[in-house]
Amino acid sequence: MASVLVLTRADVAALLPVEACLAAVEGALVAHAEGRTLPPAVLGVPAGAGGFHVKAAGVGLGRRYFAAKVNGNFSANPERRGLPAIQGVVVLADADTGTPLALMDSIELTALRTAATTALAARWLASPAARAATVVGCGTQGRHHVRALARTLALEQVWLHDRVPARARALAAELRAELGLRVDAAADLGRAVRASQVCVTCTPARGPLLGPADVPRGLFLAAVGADSEDKQELAPELLASATVVVDHLEQCATIGELHHALAGGVMRRADVRAELWEIVAGRRPGRGSEDDVVVFDSTGTALQDVAAAVAVYERASAGHRGLAVDLAGGAEATARGGRP
């Protein structure tokens, strides 16, 4: 068996800049449209105050790859234990031989691919005139979302809102210096959203943060936080009154914002405009008019994971970064990238 490349969170962050992640996710969506992907699979295991999920898929990008991500999701970790809410690993393998190729940390990869997917959706679904955005939730996802949106849209103003105001102020100062944009903390969420053309919610909320009366005409709204049945950021009536695009219909109907709209009887699956890959591939229309409110229900898919993992692995292989480990023999090979 060939050695497996072990890649840390720092490795993933260094190897997957926003532009590379955007290109990887878009390429995987095109591959899916062309029938070059393996069917995705999802497994969820509740575990008291949190749970575990396994997401797996494959994609043909010159070479055929398979990836499986195992993530623990415990929302109370940051405040109670000083640990990340989401932790896990991604295993990347050759899809033709089954040979393991890499084992990498999933924290950074999950945050990067989620933000890249939102930014890609905004590129296709937000108004071209969008200049202001509101991001709700100022953790790791919020930080990456601002960075990704700033590289995709011609933003001039970003509002940050968090239930802990000091966290929003700190992130605003950090990103203002980094990006050269007007980035400000917003105490009044409704006022910030009404002054925006783009809004992203990336929180562990378990009840609606926004309803139909809170959103202006023409808003692109990406709901990222709902990745289990009990999480919710949007009122079902908001989805029912908007154009809804999803990352994966079945998954969103089970654990996303769509799940709550279906359960409330205000939407049917047939009311969903499209999955994102259909928009990117030109199979279905996206925004109908400048006044349309477009909701992107983002639950995070295995296709996004494998796309990002492949980009990390191929860059690591080309740049000689990571730690090569012989799993069959149990002996570590030499570290790569100048680390002991």
Q: What percent of the chain has pLDDT over 70?
A: 96
120 and 156 housed in the same domain = yes
Q: What is the pTM of this model?
A: 0.93
The tens digit of pLDDT for each residue in 278-298 reads 999 999 998 889 999 999 999
Position 1 scores a pLDDT of 58
What is the domain range of residue 161?
111-297
Q: Are residues 191 and 258 in the same domain?
A: yes
pLDDT at residue 271 above 50?
A: yes
User: How far is 67 from 73, CA to CA, in rounded Å?
Assistant: 19
Residue 50 lies in a domain: yes
**128 and 160 both lie in a single domain:** yes
130/97 same-domain check: no
Q: What are the Cα distances from residue 190, in Å, to 60, 137, 159, 214?
A: 43, 14, 11, 6
Dihedral sign, Cα of residue 142, residue 37, residue 274, residue 125: positive
Q: Does residue 333 belong to any structural domain of this protein?
A: no
Q: For position 203, which CATH number holds?
A: 3.40.50.720
Question: Does residue 331 belong to any structural domain of this protein?
Answer: no
Q: Does residue 312 sit in the same domain as residue 234? A: no
Total tally of structural domains belonging to the chain: 2
313, part of any domain? yes
Instruction: Say yes or no: 50 and 187 in one domain.
Output: no
Residue 332 lies in a domain: no
Q: Can you give the pLDDT at residue 336?
A: 54
Angle between the 140-152 and 165-179 helix axes, to the nearest 10 degrees?
A: 40
Let me know whether 318 and 186 are in one domain. Answer: no
Considering the domain architecture, whether residues 204 and 234 belong to the same structural domain is answered as yes
338 or 184, which is more confident?
184
Residues 311 and 252 in one domain: no
Q: Would 312 be classed as within a structural domain?
A: yes
Q: Please indicate, yes or no, if residue 336 is contained in any of the structural domains.
A: no
The CATH number covering residue 59 comes to: 3.30.1780.10
Give me 78's structure tokens: 């940051």
**Residue 178 pLDDT > 70, yes or no?**
yes
Does 333 score more than 90 pLDDT?
A: no
In a domain, 340, yes or no: no
154 with 213, same domain: the answer is yes
Same domain as 120, residue 94: no
261 and 166 in one domain? Answer: yes
Mind listing the pLDDT tens digit for each residue in 307-329? 999 999 999 999 989 999 988 87
Angle at 25 between CA 307 and CA 224, to 5 degrees: 105
